[in-house]
Amino acid sequence: MEELYQYLCSIEFRQHVEGMVESFVALERDLAKERRAMDKMWAAREKQIGQALRHTALMYGGIQGIAGGNVLPDLKPLQLEPPAANGDTEAECNGTK
């Protein structure tokens, strides 16, 4: 017990623990840096995908307009969702729910 106590109170033990903590702090700092870089990349990709979808919808709508509305079928992903059938939507919009 005395030897263990002496070791725990030694400079050597303190240096080992400090080294471990410094390693964890460096790992945490690197992880935060990677997260920021990935967030930036994902935001750029999300914007690109949104622009591509918007341009596709505009092109398809333009072609529908030129060809006539019944020539090209409506694409479900380019349609508005119908309002909820439970009747609560109007009350929620009017703030009366």
Mean pLDDT, residues 1-23 taken together: 96
What is the separation of C-alpha 46 from the centre of its chain, rounded to a whole number of angstroms?
9
What pTM was estimated for this model as a whole? 0.57
**Residue 81 confidence (pLDDT) above 90:** no
How much is the pLDDT for 77?
86
Q: How would you write the chain as a 3-class SS string?
A: CHHHHHHHCCHHHHHHHHHHHHHHHHHHHHHHHHHHHHHHHHHHHHHHHHHHHHHHHHHHHHHHHHHCCCCCCCCHHHCCCCCCCCCHHHHHHHCCC
Give me the sign of the Cα torsion angle 45, 46, 48, 52. positive
pLDDT of residue 89: 54
Task: For residue 72, count CB atoms less than 10 angstroms from its CB and return exposed for 0-12, middle for 13-18, buried for 19 or more.
Answer: middle
C-alpha angle 39/43/49, rounded to 5°?
A: 140
Tokens of 84: 């909820």
- Confidence band of 2 (pLDDT split at 50, 70, 90): very high
